[in-house]
Structure 1
Amino acid sequence: MERSNFASEIPIFEIPGGVHPEEHKTRSNQADIRTLSLPDELIINIKGQAGNRSIPVVEVGDTVLKGQMIAECDGIFSSYQHAPTSGTIVAIEDRTIAHPSGLSDQCIIIQPDGKDKWCQLTPVRDFDQLSREEMLATIFESGIVGLGGASFPAHIKLKRESGIHTLIINAAECEPYITCDDRLLREHSREVLKGAEVISKLYSDIDIVVGIEDNKPSAIDALVSARKELGFSNIKIAVVPTKYPSGGEKQLIQIITGKEVPHGKLPADLGLVMHNVGTCFAIYETFYLGKPLIQRLVTLTGDACKEPGNYWVPFGTPVSHIINQTHAESPKRIIMGGPMMGYELPSTEVGIVKATNCIIMSAEGELGFDNPTLPCIRCGACMDACPASLLPQQLYWHAQADEFDKAEEYDLFDCIECGACAYVCPSHIPLVQYYRYAKSSIKNNRIEKTKAEKARQRHEARQERLERVKREKAERHRKAAEARKKAAQKAGKKDEKKAAVQAALERVKAKKKAQENKDDNKPATGEEK
């Protein structure tokens, strides 16, 4: 591909590892952005973002307008969902979701009415008058998540204010095939930079840097023109060499700043916050147009795709509809995401989610997934390619042997799952799959351990409660017995006193009676005679 001659406006640093896979970008980045027709139904997975599952606020039979909220967040680590078009809620049920497991999850099914009628929109153009909390709430309630692939709720990244001095806009888009960010910048650079300006208002004093690979000359030119037109002199453009995975969050930070995010830390700990260009565009639409996040730009490509390009795709659009709209001919595999970090879809009936940046409709033998897996030859190529400076070979052995403690000792969770190690592996070992297996197993073990600990605490609390109740009952019985004893003793004393009085009365009566008897037996005197 053509490389830009635009010189980076800030110093650029090197990162370890990395690879240079064939780019396959020109097939999709030449045409203007297009729009797909609406499908017969939209399948909206309410867990279609990182974090907790959203909670439906609609019922079957309800009619909804475009942009209307259909699911609310479940706690702060979640996302609102909005109707991508107007129509009727025809079902809320489990459907196969966009996940390599092929599992089902709860989805809201909307049947479009064809009118595409918006609900009432309330732009927030004068956002200078909003408090920081109000601006974050607007982003939160619009359902905006990171659109670079992780789909992490955007407001959480922006929550920390103190110590943040630099906003990095990630426009590197280093993975092969994917060109949605490139095309977005070519056609909507002004909107992206305005979205970045909104983010900058959340901080008192912040620098803005756009990190972009040099294989996007048209996008760089568009950025330069938009910056000049808008007068955003505080925005710097960092043109970085094309190498995968330079678009990874930690990798791009290291390239632009020369600083490495420490193990177990976040970019915010270095005073940095990063957002994707798609996220900036979504924030622009929320504040300037009042639109929630209901669609995203998706690269549709692959040898089987007859009309490759970048399309605005409403969330919930079934992949089968995309295949039909682009006239794909019997794709061998359907990959969601890029060839390095994406995964094969279990079904074409899954709906597009917020994390979907690319759909690859591959032809036979296109992606090399059919190569047989051979034993590891210990060549060390994976170690040289790792951008996180890990030991992929060691991680593979420990993951394969279920030695998860040892895998963690080798910093398993520092792996960004970029797939560079698997790309260079001459034995075609699916290394990333082993790492994902180990990570998920460790997380599940932690969950089970937490559940067991909570169960133990509940059991001990119950036993303690039963013992306490038993002690309290015994104490009540003891006190009751003492009370009865005292009452008996008191009653006994009363009886003794009463008996004494009665005895005295009896003696008085007896004495009186004896006296009367004595008088009756006394002899009569002369007069009486």
Structure 2
Amino acid sequence: MERSNYKSEIPIFEFPGGIHPKEHKVESNQTPIRDIPLPKQLVINLKGQAGNRSLPVVNVGDVVLKGQVIAESDGVFSSFQHAPSSGTVIAIEKRPIAHPSGLDDVCVVIETDGKDQWCDLNPKSNVEDLERAEILAHICESGIVGLGGASFPTHIKLKRESGIHTLIINAAECEPYITCDDRLLQEHAQSVFKGAQIISQLYQDLKIIIGIEDNKPDAIDALVSARKELAMDDVKIAVIPTKYPSGGEKQLIQLITGKEVPHGGLPADLGLVMHNVATCFAIFQAFEYGKPLVSRVVTLTGEACQKAGNYQVPFGTPVEHLMKISEATNPGVLVMGGPMMGFELPNSKVGIVKSTNCIIMAAPKELKHDHLALPCIRCGACMDVCPASLLPQQLYWHAKSDEFEKAEEYDLFDCIECGACAYVCPSDIPLVQYYRYAKSTIRNQKVEKTKADKARLRHEARQERLERVKREKAEKHRKAAEARRKAAEAAGDDDTKKSAVAAALARVKAKKAEQDEDSATGSSNETENQETDNKGNDA
């Protein structure tokens, strides 16, 4: 493929490993971006971005307009979803989705009316007058996510402000077959620049660098012309050698800055923020015209695709509709994404999502999807090409044996799943599938552990509460018994005192009675003696 002679405007460094697969780009980048006829139905997956499922705000039977909100962000980690065209909501149910698991998930199904009528839009072209929170809120409410493949909600990625000094626009598009960013730059480079300007309003003195591979000469020329027309001479164009996976976030940062994102860290830790060219374009559309993210440019290619090219595709468009308009003939496999990091679709009825940058309609023997895996021969080729300097064979053995703790010790989560190791494996071992399995299992285990820890804490709190109530009741009963005892003792003391007083009174009465009796006896004796004396005198 033709290489650009344009020299990079900043020094370019290197990253370890990497490969040079056949590019297969000329098949789709030779024609302008085309619109597609509207499909009869749009199947919008509410989990069609990184993070949590969006929350539906429409009901079956509702008539919706293009751009109308059909699902809101959960307020934590998800994005808004908008109607890609006007029509009627005919179902909110589980359908097969575009995901490596092949599982079903909740989808909003819209039957299009053919009018493609927009709702009232809310442009905000006066970005310089907006507060930071207002800019982020508009990006969020426009449903914009990273369109390079990760589909991470953009407003979350832009939330951190302190320490950010450089914006890197990722235009590398290193994976074979995919050319949607290439064509977008050729036709809308100015809009991409303006989107980057809007992002720059969120930071102080932000430097902007565009990283692009040298196999996109027309896109590079478009960038140079757009920069001149917009008088944005401070934006630097970094032309990097074509090598996969130079478009990986960490690899492109290493190429442009010479710095490595720390283990377990983020580009923001180096003062960097990175966005894809399509994301910048979507931000410009949202502010200049008020258009939420309802469609994207998708590369349709592969040997079974008769009309390969790049198409503006509404989200939720079934892949079978794309096969029809591109005149695909008996594809052996359907791959969403590129041949390295993409995945095979469960069927052709799934709708495209925000992260869909390419659909490969491969001929039966075009890709290595059906090769029989042989035992590992320990050649070490996978280690040589790993761009993250990992030990893929060790990760494979531990993942295969469900030794997940050991896999984590070998930095499993630093793997970017680029597929370079599987590409060079002479045994055709699907290494990335093992890594994905191990990662998902570990994540699920951590989720279950978190749930178990919360349940344990709730149980312990309940037990403590019951014990506390029990202790409080026992203490209450003890105090009541003590009060009764004291009352009884007090009552007993009163009875004793009364008895003593009564006894004393009885003794007093008895003594007095005795004294009265003695007095009475004495008086009688005296009378008798007197009478005797009187009788004696008479004698």
**TM > 0.5 fold call:** yes
Question: Shift of the alpha carbon at 1:450?
Answer: 2.0
Aligned equivalent of 1:164: 164
Shift of 1:451: 2.2
Q: How does 1:70-469 map to 2 (within 5 A)?
A: 70-469=70-469
SS of the equivalent of 2:49 reads coil
Alpha-carbon RMSD? 2.4
Distance across 2 between alignment mates of 1:102 and 1:383: 30
Alpha-carbon shift at residue 426 of structure 1 (Å): 1.1
Q: For residues 463 and 256 of structure 2, what CA distance do their matches in structure 1 show?
A: 58
Output the CA distance in 2 between the equivalents of 1:87 and 1:182. Answer: 32
Q: Is the 8 A contact 1:52 1:75 kept in 2?
A: no
SS in 2 for 1:85: coil
Residue number in structure 1 paired with 2:11:
11
Q: Is residue 67 from structure 1 mapped to residue 91 from structure 2 by the alignment?
A: no
Q: Deviations over 1:294-335 (max 9, x none)?
A: 111111111111111111111111111111121211111110
User: Unaligned regions of 5+ residues in structure 2, if any?
Assistant: 515-539
Q: Can you give the 5+ residue segments of structure 1 that lack an aligned partner in the other structure?
A: 515-529
Counterpart-to-counterpart distance in 1, 2:435 and 2:329: 34
Where 1:313 maps in the other structure, the secondary structure is strand
Q: State the secondary structure of the residue aligned to 1:273.
A: strand
Partners of 2:511 and 2:85 lie apart in 1 by 115
Q: Taking structure 2 as the reference length, what is the TM-score of the superposition?
A: 0.92
- Using the alignment, how far apart are the partners of 2:164 and 2:274 within structure 1? 11
The structural deviation recorded for 1:19 is 0.6
Look up the match of 1:519.
Answer: none
Distance 1:416 1:507, change over 3 A: same
Q: What is the rounded CA distance, in whole Å, between the counterparts of 2:234 and 2:505 in structure 1? A: 115
**CA drift at 1:116:** 1.4
Q: Judging changes above 3 Å, is the alpha-carbon distance between structure 1 residues 502 and 92 closer, same or farther for their aligned structure 2 residues? A: farther
Matches within 5 A, 1:19-34: 19-34=19-34
Q: Please give the alpha-carbon distance, in whole angstroms, between the structure 2 residues aligned to 1:112 and 1:502.
A: 107
Secondary structure of 2:202's aligned partner = coil
Q: What is the CA deviation profile of residues 463-516 of structure 1, one whole-angstrom value per residue up to 9, with x for unaligned ones? A: 2222111111110100111122223333444555667788899999999999xx
Q: What one-letter code is carried by the residue in structure 2 that aligns with 1:420?
A: A
Change (3 A) 1:505 1:70: farther
SS of the residue aligned with 1:94? strand
Counterpart CA distance in 2 for 1:212 and 1:468 is: 66
The residue number in structure 2 matching 1:488 is 488
Structure 2 CA distance for aligned equivalents of residues 181 and 388 of structure 1 = 25
**Whole-Å separation in 2 of the counterparts to 1:512 and 1:55:** 102
Supply the distance in 1 between the matched residues of 2:200 and 2:378 (Cα, whole angstroms): 48
Q: Which amino acid aligns with 1:23?
A: E
Contact 1:93–1:107 (CA under 8 A) maintained in structure 2: yes
Letter matched to residue 97 of structure 2 = I
Report SS of the residue matched to 1:312: strand
What TM-score, normalized to structure 1?
A: 0.94
Give the structure 2 partner of residue 520 of structure 1: none
CA distance in 2, matches of 1:386, 1:276: 23
> Contact 1:399/1:407 (CA < 8 Å) preserved in 2?
yes
Percent identity, aligned pairs only, is 74
CA distance in 1, matches of 2:500, 2:347: 102
CA contact (8 A) 1:304 1:331 kept: yes
Count, aligned residues = 524
Distance in 1 separating the partners of 2:190 and 2:512: 127
Asked whether the equivalents of residues 54 and 78 of structure 1 are also in contact (C-alpha less than 8 Å), the reply is yes
Change (3 A) 1:494 1:426: same
Question: Which range moves more in the overlay, 499-508 or 149-158?
Answer: 499-508
* CA-to-aligned-CA distance 1:143-180 (integer Å, 9 cap, x gap): 11100000001111111111111100000000000000
Counterpart residue number, 2:522: none
